[in-house]
C-alpha cells in the first residue's frame, strides 16, 4: 500500500514537472494579457530540438539549453505576429501549433536520433524519508530548477517594476500606454519568458523523463497548462497546485489498472479540462482574470 502510494506520487511529480515549468511561463504571459495557446508548440518544438541537439552534441544538458532556445524563438515569432503585426493571437497560436506538430512529426520520420537523458540527483538523507523521499528527492536535475524559477517568476510579476508594468498592460493597456509603458513590447517580452519556460518543460519531457522523442509527445500538455492557469485563477500558487492535481490525476490514470481499480479512463483524461471549466463557472473568474486578456492593443491615433 505504502509503496503503491509512493509509486503514484513519484510518477505524479514527474508528470507535474513539465506542466509546472510551462505553467510559470503561461502565467506570466497571461498576466500581461496574452492568452498564449502556442505553449503546446513551444513544448513540442523544444522537446524535439533538445533530443536532436543532444544527439548531435552528445550532451543532454546542451539539448536542454537548445530546447529553451527553441521555446524563446517560438515566443519571439508569436510576439511579433500577434503584438507587432497584430494578427489575432489565437490564430497565430493555432498556426504555430500546427506547424510545430507537422514539422517535428516530419523530421522524426526522416531522421534518427540517439536517446539522451540528463543526470539524476539523489539527495542523501532526505531520500530516505518514507513516502516522500523517493518522489521528491530522487529526480533528474532540471526538476530542482523549479525551486529557483517559481520564486523568480513570482518576484518578477509581483515585486519587480517590470512586473508591475506587465500587470498594468494585462489589466488596462490604454492606461498603461498613457503612462508611457510600451504595451506590445511588454507583451512580447512576456512571451519570451513564457517560451523559455515552456521550452524547458518540453525539453525536460524529452531529455529528462523519456530520453527520446516520439511523435506528438506533448499530447496536449500545452492545453493542460492553459487549463491549470485558469484553474489557478491567475494566481501562481494555485496554478502550480492545479498542475500537481493534473499530474497526479495522470499518474493515477496510468497506475490504477495495475492496482486492479477500474475507473473510467476517458473521465480521467477529461478531468483537467472539466475542472478548469468548473473552476471558471464556480469561482466566477471574471473578477480575477486580467481584464485585457486576449484583447489586442492598438494605439489610437486620436
Cα 72 from Cα 8, distance rounded (Å): 33
Decide: is 73 part of the binding site for other proteins (CB under 8 A).
no
Among 9, 73, 101, 132, binds other proteins (CB under 8 A): 101
* 56 touching other proteins, by CB under 8 A: no
> 28 near 162, Cβ under 8 Å?
no
Q: Can you read off the three cell numbers belonging to residue 258?
A: 495495475
Q: Which is nearer to other proteins, 34 or 189 (CB)?
A: 34
Residue 205 is classified by DSSP as I
Task: Output the nine-digit C-alpha cell for 1.
Answer: 500500500
Asked if 88 interacts with other proteins (CB under 8 A), we say yes
> Binders of other proteins among 208-247, rule CB under 8 A?
220, 223, 226-227, 230
Instruction: Please tell me whether residue 145 binds other proteins under the rule CB under 8 A.
Output: no
Note whether 61 binds other proteins by CB under 8 A: no
Question: Which positions ≥6 away from 92 have C-beta within 8 Å?
Answer: 38, 78, 81, 82
Q: Which is nearer to other proteins, 161 or 287 (CB)?
A: 287
Judged by CB under 8 A, does residue 192 bind other proteins?
no
Distance (Å, whole) CA 84 – CA 87:
8
The strand ranges marked E within 128-241 are: 138-140
Question: Which residue(s) pair with 140 in the sheet?
Answer: 120
Q: How far is the CB of 98 from other proteins (least distance, A)?
A: 5
Q: Is 284 in the site for other proteins (CB under 8 A)?
A: yes
> Quick check: 136 binds other proteins (CB under 8 A)?
no
- Is residue 91 at the binding interface for other proteins, with CB under 8 A as the rule? yes
Question: Within 13-42, which residues bind other proteins (CB under 8 A)?
Answer: 35, 37
* Buried b or exposed e, range 143-158, using 16+ CB within 10 angstroms: bebbeebbeebbebbe
SS3 293: coil
Answer yes or no whether residue 87 interacts with other proteins by CB under 8 A: yes
Q: Which residue do the cell numbers 539539448 mark? A: 63
Instruction: Give the binding site for other proteins (CB under 8 A).
Output: 35, 37, 81, 84-88, 90-91, 94-96, 98-99, 101-103, 105-107, 109-111, 220, 223, 226-227, 230, 264, 266-267, 269-270, 273-274, 276-277, 280-281, 284-286, 289, 293-294, 301
Amino acid at each position: 500500500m505504502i509503496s503503491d502510494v509512493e509509486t503514484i506520487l513519484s510518477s505524479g511529480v514527474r508528470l507535474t514537472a513539465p506542466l509546472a515549468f510551462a505553467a510559470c511561463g503561461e502565467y506570466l504571459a497571461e498576466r500581461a494579457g496574452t492568452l498564449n495557446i502556442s505553449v503546446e508548440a513551444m513544448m513540442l518544438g523544444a522537446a524535439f530540438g533538445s533530443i536532436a541537439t543532444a544527439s548531435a552534441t552528445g550532451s543532454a544538458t546542451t539539448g536542454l539549453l537548445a530546447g529553451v532556445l527553441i521555446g524563446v524563438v517560438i515566443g519571439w515569432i508569436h510576439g511579433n505576429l500577434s503584438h507587432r503585426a497584430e494578427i489575432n493571437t489565437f490564430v497565430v497560436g493555432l498556426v504555430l501549433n500546427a506547424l510545430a506538430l507537422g514539422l517535428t512529426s516530419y523530421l522524426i520520420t526522416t531522421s534518427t536520433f540517439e536517446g539522451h537523458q540528463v543526470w539524476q540527483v539523489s539527495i542523501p538523507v532526505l531520500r530516505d524519508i518514507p513516502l516522500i523521499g523517493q518522489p521528491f528527492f530522487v529526480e533528474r536535475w532540471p526538476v530542482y530548477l523549479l525551486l529557483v524559477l517559481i520564486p523568480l517568476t513570482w518576484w518578477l510579476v509581483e515585486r519587480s517594476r517590470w512586473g508591475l508594468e506587465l500587470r498594468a498592460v494585462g489589466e488596462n493597456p490604454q492606461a498603461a500606454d498613457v503612462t508611457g509603458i510600451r504595451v506590445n513590447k511588454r507583451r512580447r517580452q512576456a512571451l519570451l519568458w513564457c517560451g523559455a519556460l515552456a521550452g524547458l518543460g518540453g525539453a525536460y519531457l524529452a531529455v529528462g523523463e523519456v530520453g527520446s522523442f516520439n511523435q506528438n509527445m506533448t499530447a496536449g500538455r500545452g492545453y493542460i497548462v492553459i487549463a491549470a492557469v485558469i484553474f489557478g485563477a491567475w494566481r501562481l500558487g494555485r496554478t502550480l497546485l492545479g498542475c500537481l492535481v493534473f499530474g497526479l490525476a495522470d499518474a493515477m490514470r496510468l497506475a490504477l489498472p495495475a492496482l486492479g481499480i477500474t475507473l473510467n479512463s476517458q473521465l480521467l483524461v477529461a478531468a483537467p479540462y472539466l475542472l478548469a471549466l468548473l473552476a471558471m463557472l464556480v469561482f466566477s473568474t471574471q473578477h480575477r482574470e486580467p481584464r485585457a486578456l486576449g484583447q489586442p492593443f492598438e494605439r489610437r491615433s486620436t
